[in-house]
Chains A and B, each alone.
Chain A
């Protein structure tokens, strides 16, 4: 077992990685570098406190409050910070809006920069090298594979996140939602719609009477 253990088809690779992660945590605990609940706290924080619900609330507010929408598009970092949803990595966030004829898609070609406080942890496909490369080169084909077939005249803009700036998509407000309040709109805003791989759900797609 060494740092060069790099046999990815080895059936015990998973066991090795699990043991390695345990070894690291156990040594850091033993040395007093981390406390017993430090890691649990971080995981709980990211799994429950930060997540796509935050982004959905931002989107629903932008749909119902034109002034907030303008602010969100002009200075996204300040606007989402005002709702208490930014700061974990300290970088800037920029929200880009879908509009008729223009569709936005986020990617990080360098690694997997992602607006965690708004969207939670990045999904597996976002971290996939093939996705990262192809989204930049042939976004229309990638979107089609996600089940989103856009008309040929729709322009697709791809936003490449970096350490300095993370992107999030403001999807279009779905038809048939006139008069709905922000709280009612939140469930329509899927994580995928804020990544740009799908559109926000229409209210008809929601099971009626569910919470």
Chain B
């Protein structure tokens, strides 16, 4: 995944991409964060991209098996977040109990900022 990093570092100042397609790329800010974290960890070699992809396919597959394809509660980035979480736990990058505790800190506003 060095290629992504090379691309990021080497790209010239960019032209603004067209916004005319009217698509919201991310519905909520957390989706962008989850997206960026997954890519960043792969770029930095904490796992290879294929591992994440397999985790994502599994997460989507489990959801579809339980919900039916037209269930309106479908959210792609819920599955993305779950795939990320499973991979982080499997690789020992975070522990389940600290993740639950930290999530609660944010839920009850004991914490507001990530750093």
A-to-B contact residues, CB < 8 Å: 1-3, 8-9, 13-29, 31, 33-34, 36, 38-43, 45-53, 56, 87-90, 110-112, 117, 120-121, 123-124, 127-130, 133, 163, 187, 190-192
Would you list 9 pairs from A and B whose C-beta atoms are within 8 A, ordered by A residue? A17-B30, A26-B113, A38-B44, A39-B40, A53-B17, A87-B4, A110-B57, A124-B23, A124-B24
Interface of B, secondary structure class, is helix
Q: How far is it, in angstroms, between the C-alpha of A114 and the C-alpha of B35 when the chains are bound?
A: 15
Asked if B103 and A20 sit within 8 Å, CB to CB, the answer is yes
In the complex, the answer to whether A1 meets B18 with C-beta atoms within 8 Å is no
Are A123 and B4 interface neighbours, CB within 8 A?
no
Give the shortest distance, in Å, between B8 (CB) and chain A (any CB).
5
Closest CB-CB distance, A118 to chain B, in whole Å? 12
Judge whether B103 and A1 touch: CB under 8 Å: yes
Report the 4 A-B pairs with minimum CB-CB distance, sorted nearest first: A8-B73, A51-B17, A19-B106, A23-B102
Contact with A39, one of B18, B37, B73 (Cβ below 8 angstroms)? B37
Considering the chains assembled together, what is the distance between the CA atoms of A192 and B81 in angstroms?
27
B-chain residues with CB within 8 Å of residue A56 when the two chains form the complex: 18
Query: Which one of A29, A39, A51, A52 has the greatest number of beta carbons of chain B within 10 Å?
Result: A39
Contacts of B37 in A (CB 8 A): 21, 24-25, 28, 34, 39
In contact, B76 and A127 (Cβ under 8 angstroms)? yes
Min CB distance, A165 to chain B, in Å? Answer: 14
- Say yes or no: B73 contacts A120, CB within 8 Å: no
- Do the beta carbons of B81 and A20 come within 8 Å of each other? yes
- Asked if A19 and B40 sit within 8 Å, CB to CB, the answer is no
| B residues 21-73 in Cβ contact with A at 8 Å | 21, 23-25, 27-37, 39-41, 43-44, 46, 49-50, 53, 56-57, 60, 64, 69-71, 73
Q: How far is the CB of A155 from chain B (nearest CB, A)?
A: 26
Are B3 and A88 in contact, with the CB atoms below 8 A? yes
Inter-chain CA distance A128–B75, complex, in Å, is 8
Minimum distance in angstroms from B22 CB to a CB of chain A = 9
Task: Enumerate chain B residues within 8 angstroms of A31, measured Cβ to Cβ.
Answer: 93-94
Q: Which residues of A contact B88 (CB under 8 A)?
A: 24, 28
**Residues of chain B lying within 8 A (CB to CB) of residue A45:** 4, 7-8, 11
A149 to chain B, nearest CB (A): 20
- Per the bound structure, the CA–CA distance linking A49 and B4 in Å amounts to 11
A23 touches B64 (CB 8 A): no
Q: Is the CB of A27 within 8 A of B30?
A: no
Q: Give chain B residues whose Cβ lies under 8 Å from the Cβ of A52.
A: 17-18, 21
B73:A16 contact, CB within 8 angstroms: no
Nearest-Cβ distance from residue B103 to partner chain A, whole angstroms: 4
B31 surroundings in chain A (CB, below 8 A):
21
Contacts of B94 in A (CB 8 A): 24, 27-28, 31
Evaluate contact between B17 and A48: CB separation under 8 angstroms: yes
- Separation in Å of the A61 CB from the closest CB of chain B? 16
